[in-house]
Structure 1
Amino acid sequence: MRKLTYYVACSLDGFIGDPHGDATSMFAFADEEYVAFMHAEFPETVPTAFREAAGLVGVPARRFDTVVQGMGSYRLALDTGVTSPYAHLREIVATRSLTESPDPNVELVSGDLAARIRELKAEDGPLDIWLCGGAEIAGQLADEVDELIIKSYPQVYGSGMPMFAADFTTRDFTLDVVRVFGNGVVVRTYTRKR
């Protein structure tokens, strides 16, 4: 069975963006060591438009073959005229505002997102599903998340968009791997206790 992995960047205090969802301040930590790690371990998470500049054209996916994102995350691409930001992956967008997909590679889900994720997890295949963001769909899918890969940046936001916009419920995870970088970024991988 495939896993749903919430692979996400956040501040030290657990915010994935400022109150408007902007996380561009985290880009300042993209030094050579960290970028080399990201490209080696998660090459498929680089948007299609940047894969050539990153030297990733033709580099196969290592972890994920499907990306799931909410309309807020997808809107960032649409606002720049990009209708398939991860054209090298199968794209699922949770939305109630779009009624027709602007791209044949993008599947819109307006109904039961958790049920669609369970269908995707039940498919055969060696690669997993990447929950890209944002907070609202992470909250909707909190019970479906099997793995967390949290890229913690050495910044404190104070307030902003939380990792999960959900009602209070304790969900336990086990720490598997910690990777620390010279720039202060810490990448932690957790597995869901079931």
Structure 2
Amino acid sequence: MRELTYYVAVSLDGYIAGPGGEFDTFLAAGDHVEPIWSRYRGTAPTQLAEAAGLSVADGPFDTVLMGKNTYAIGLPHLPNPYQHLRQIVFTSTPSQRPEGSDAVEFTTADPTAAARALKQEDGLGIWLCGGGALAASLIEEIDRLVLKINPVVLGAGIPLFGSAGYSPMAWKPTRTQAFESGVILAEHVRA
């Protein structure tokens, strides 16, 4: 059975982006980049990875899930951001397809039912790359939680799990690695 991994950058105070979707305060350079990329190869938009000389081949995922706001971050320049992966965008307006997005699957399907069906398919892992609201709706289906914790406090923004409400859920740490850049890679599995 395939696993769903929520792999995302997050601030010290638990935000995956600022109030307007800003993520430019997260570190894109430093001693953490190469080791994290080698572990989670293929988790950058295809064109950006190739421009940086990073191979997207042989990564742990073959499918990426995202909400419409996460997808929209790359528009209009990257309408087909993860060309090397199967891309599924959850949206309430699937008919509004940006030009150049033919390889992207837009769906109004229930995210939980969709994730369960994807887990039954053959293939590599499934990567949930955002956003917070989608993560909140999929929290029961997430098998692994991988956080790139950045040394910044945002104060407000999009929470890691949207507005999931109070519902404690235990996770077991499997690996933690701190870097001189201040980034901490924290990996967990459902307890």
Residue 184 (structure 2) aligned to one of 177, 183, 186: 186
User: Unaligned regions of 5+ residues in structure 2, if any?
Assistant: none
Is structure 2 residue 168 aligned with structure 1 residue 170?
Answer: yes
Is structure 2 residue 1 aligned with structure 1 residue 42?
Answer: no
Report how many residues are paired.
188
1:15 matched residue in structure 2: 15
1:71 matched residue in structure 2: 68
Structure 1 residue 101 displacement after superposition: 4.3
2:93 matched residue in structure 1: 97
Structure 1 residue 18 displacement after superposition: 1.1
Q: Are 2:94 and 2:107, in contact at CA under 8 Å, matched by a contact in 1?
A: no
- % same residue: 40
Whichever structure has more helix as a proportion of its residues is 1
Distance in 1 (alpha carbons) for counterparts of 2:68 and 2:103: 15
Distance in 2 (alpha carbons) for counterparts of 1:115 and 1:100: 23
Structure 1 residue 100 displacement after superposition: 5.3
2:146 matched residue in structure 1: 149
Distance in 2 (alpha carbons) for counterparts of 1:159 and 1:76: 18
Please report the TM-score for the alignment, with normalisation by the length of structure 1.
Answer: 0.91
**CA RMSD of the aligned region, Å?**
1.4
Distance in 2 (alpha carbons) for counterparts of 1:116 and 1:94: 10
Distance in 1 (alpha carbons) for counterparts of 2:158 and 2:132: 7
1:113-161 per-position Cα deviation (integer Å, ceiling 9, x unaligned): 1101101111122x20000000110111111111000010111112211
Distance in 1 (alpha carbons) for counterparts of 2:122 and 2:159: 32
Distance in 1 (alpha carbons) for counterparts of 2:126 and 2:116: 11
Q: Are 1:149 and 1:189, in contact at CA under 8 Å, matched by a contact in 2?
A: yes
User: 1:76-155 to 2 correspondence within 5 Å?
Assistant: 76-78=73-75, 80-99=76-95, 101-102=97-98, 103-125=101-123, 127-155=124-152
Residue aligned with 1:45, SS: coil
